[in-house]
C-alpha cells in the first residue's frame, strides 16, 4: 500500500527531511509522489530523487548516475546531506535536461498536477492524488478525485478519477478503448483497496502542504472520503495537442464500452488548427 510510515511522514513534515518538502512546494517544476516506504521527486518526468526509509529515521537516496555528474553527494541522507542535496538541485536539473529521458506526454502530466493542485486562482474541480498508479494490468498516468464546486461540504464522499494522458498523435490512441477495458477489468475487484490507498496518500499530501488551497478549503478536504464504488469512478482521457483532423480516436468504440457513461474526455494543449481556433460568434451563440 502506498503510504509513508509515521516516522518518515513526520520527518518530511517537520524533521530534517522537511527541507525537501519545502523546496518542492516552492518550485512548481518539481513533483513529490508518495510510494510504499519511499518517495519520488520528479523533474520533467524524470526521477530527480528516490528516497527510501531503510530503518527508523534512516533514509537512502537513489539517483541516476547520469544526473550525478559534477555532484558530490552522500546517498545516506542526514541533516547535512539534505542541505547539500537541496543546494545541488539546480545542477541535478541541468543534468536531467542534458541526459534524461524527454517526453512531452510525461511533462504534461506534471503540468496537469501543477494546474490542478498548485494554482489557487484556477479553483479547479479535480485534484490529482498520485502519478503512475499501477494495479495488476493497469497503470494510470494520474489518479485523482472530482470535487464538485456546487456541492462542497465536510465529510463528503467523492469519486475517484483515473486519468490517461495522450500527447499529439500517439499511436496508442487508436487502441484506447481496449486499454481502458483492460484497466477497468484490472481494478473492478480492488476498488475498496484503491480507495483506501488513495485516501491515505491524499491525507498525507494535505498535511505536507502539497495542495495550495485556501485554509477553509484545506479544512474541508481533510474530511473527504473516497468512494469505493466502481460505478462512481470517472475514467478521464486527456488528449494534449490532438490534431482534430485526425481519425485516430475512435469515439464509437469508446461509446460501446459497458462503462461508457463514466468516461470523460478533455482536449487541451497549445497546438492550433482552424477547428480549435473558433470565431467569437461561436462562443456568443
| pLDDT tens sequence across 131-182 | 987 776 778 999 999 999 998 999 999 999 999 999 999 999 999 999 999 9
Domain-embedded: residue 276: no
Q: Does residue 279 lie in a domain region?
A: no
Residue carrying the nine cell digits 555528474: 69
- Give the start-end residues of each E strand in the chain: 30-34, 38-43, 46-55, 58-62, 76-77, 126-135, 138-146, 157-158, 160-167, 225-226, 234-240, 263-268
**42 in Cβ contact with 112 (< 8 Å):** no
Tens of pLDDT along 211-235? 999 999 999 999 999 999 999 999 9
Alpha-carbon distance of 7 to 1, in angstroms, equals 16
The count of domains in the chain is 2
- Tell me the whole-structure pTM to 2 decimals: 0.93
Q: Could you give the C-alpha distances from 272 to 57, 106, 168, 238, 278, in angstroms and in order?
A: 51, 21, 12, 17, 10
Residues 165 and 185 both lie in one domain: yes
Eight-state DSSP code of residue 71: -
Residue 275 inside a domain? The answer is: no
Identify the band that residue 109 occupies on the pLDDT scale cut at 50, 70 and 90: very high
Per-residue pLDDT tens digits for 48-79 = 999 999 987 789 999 999 999 999 899 999 88
Range of the domain at 66: 6-99
Residue 155 and residue 54 share a domain:
no
Q: Does 128 lie in the same domain as 246?
A: yes
126 is a domain residue:
yes
Same domain, 70 and 160: no
Amino acid at each position: 500500500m502506498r503510504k509513508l510510515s509515521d516516522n518518515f511522514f513526520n520527518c518530511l513534515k517537520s524533521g530534517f527531511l522537511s527541507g525537501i518538502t519545502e523546496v518542492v512546494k516552492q518550485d512548481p517544476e518539481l513533483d513529490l509522489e508518495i510510494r510504499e516506504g519511499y518517495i519520488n521527486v520528479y523533474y520533467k518526468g524524470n526521477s530527480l530523487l528516490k528516497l527510501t526509509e531503510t530503518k527508523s529515521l534512516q533514509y537512502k537516496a537513489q539517483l541516476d548516475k547520469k544526473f550525478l555528474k559534477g555532484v558530490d553527494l552522500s546517498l545516506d541522507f542526514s541533516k547535512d546531506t539534505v542541505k547539500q542535496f537541496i543546494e545541488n538541485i539546480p545542477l541535478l536539473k541541468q543534468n536531467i535536461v542534458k541526459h534524461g529521458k524527454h517526453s512531452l506526454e510525461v511533462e504534461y502530466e506534471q503540468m496537469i498536477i501543477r494546474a490542478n493542485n498548485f494554482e489557487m486562482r484556477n479553483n479547479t474541480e479535480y485534484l490529482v492524488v498520485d502519478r503512475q498508479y499501477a494495479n495488476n494490468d493497469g497503470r494510470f498516468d494520474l489518479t485523482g478525485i472530482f470535487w464538485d464546486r456546487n456541492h462542497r461540504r465536510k465529510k463528503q464522499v467523492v469519486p475517484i478519477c483515473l486519468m490517461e494522458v495522450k500527447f499529439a498523435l500517439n499511436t496508442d490512441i487508436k487502441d484506447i478503448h481496449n486499454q481502458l477495458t483492460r484497466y477497468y477489468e484490472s481494478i473492478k475487484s480492488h476498488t475498496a483497496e484503491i480507495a483506501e490507498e488513495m485516501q491515505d496518500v491524499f491525507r498525507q499530501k494535505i498535511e505536507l502542504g502539497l495542495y495550495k488551497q485556501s485554509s477553509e478549503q484545506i479544512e474541508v478536504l481533510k474530511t473527504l472520503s473516497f468512494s469505493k464504488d466502481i460505478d462512481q469512478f470517472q475514467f478521464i482521457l486527456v488528449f494534449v495537442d490532438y490534431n482534430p483532423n485526425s481519425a485516430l480516436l475512435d469515439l464509437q468504440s469508446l461509446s460501446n464500452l459497458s462503462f461508457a457513461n463514466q468516461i470523460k474526455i478533455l482536449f487541451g494543449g497549445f497546438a492550433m488548427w482552424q477547428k480549435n481556433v473558433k470565431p467569437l460568434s461561436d462562443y456568443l451563440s
